[in-house]
Amino acid sequence: MEDWLIGQALGSPDMAAMFAEMCERLRQCQVPVDRAMIGWSTLHPLIQAESAVWEHGNELQHQQITHTEEDNEDWLQSPIRAIMLSREPMLRRRLTHANAPFEFPLLSRLSEAGYTDYFVLPTEFDIPAIMDETSTAGIIVSWATRAEGGFSEDALMALRYIQKRLALAARATMEGQISRTIAETYLGRIAGNKVLNGQIRHGDGETIDAVIYFSDMRNSTAIAEALGPDAYLTWLNTYFEATAGAILEQGGEVLDFIGDAVLGVFPTDEQSLSSAVAKAIAAADD
């Protein structure tokens, strides 16, 4: 298991898929994991955090939570949020005891589904992230079992042991994702990939054939004076969402935001000129 996780850390795995395979490997090692969830914060202009829920015999569930997404009741009443707020080192609940505390709705659902033990363990490490009171720089994992009597001490020790190794692989994976996100956010997908592939020296560049898309806001100076800085910034963000968003949805790339203008391209290296023109016109129509 350790060698496999080291191999994952040295590659570029999908975080959720890596976690699911690790859970299957734990079962092969006689660790009675029947359900597990991993959550992690990220550094992304749209996505605040991600999570993956693995349950033996069911399809993996991967979720991305945006910055604008409102907290729902499941999250507000979740044991994961509670431990992130309390900063406790762990949370464990036996689900079969007569006096078992079911202060979280999830625990009642797990108990009804036949689970006997639930264990939450955060592992923090230093990594760039947008932090708030319910964020953690690292990973947080919950483990649940249907085994009679719950997790044994040996099983709990194995989970603690393997989670630190998982954290190393997760950190390497998350740092790679963050690097790619930053490059694509500030340079664009095409230029960002070029930089990450080594085209970073002063003077490096290349010529591409592309359809150019340019959009400029009409009367922006008068609008800025009428609205004031805060309201104008909101107005500008809405404008960029409409114009730049349309470019991205049509498969183009935003090269630059020039004041109140958007410069985008639709390269013709992997598509015909007529196809690129059609997509640029569709973006303008959108």
Per-residue pLDDT of the chain (286 residues; tens, 9 = 90+): 889 999 999 998 999 999 999 999 999 999 999 999 999 988 887 788 899 999 999 999 999 988 777 778 888 899 999 998 888 999 999 998 766 678 899 999 999 999 999 999 999 998 877 766 666 789 999 999 999 999 999 999 999 999 999 999 999 999 988 888 888 777 777 777 777 777 778 777 778 899 999 999 899 899 999 999 999 999 988 898 889 889 989 989 888 888 889 999 999 988 999 999 999 999 999 9
Local structure of 136: helix, strand or coil: coil
Confidence (pTM)? 0.77
In degrees to the nearest 10, what's the CA dihedral of 45, 46, 52, 58?
A: -150
Structural domain boundaries in the chain: 2-187, 208-285
CB 138 within 8 A of CB 167: yes
* Fold (CATH) for 2-187: Beta-Lactamase (3.30.450)
User: Side chain identity at 221, as an amino acid letter?
Assistant: T
Residue the block writes with tokens 């720089």: 137
Round to whole Å and give the CA distance between 224 and 247.
Answer: 25
Is CATH 3.30.70.1230 correct for 208-285? yes
- The dihedral sign for the CA sequence 198, 203, 209, 211: positive
CB 208 within 8 A of CB 267: yes
Round to whole Å and give the CA distance between 222 and 36.
Answer: 55
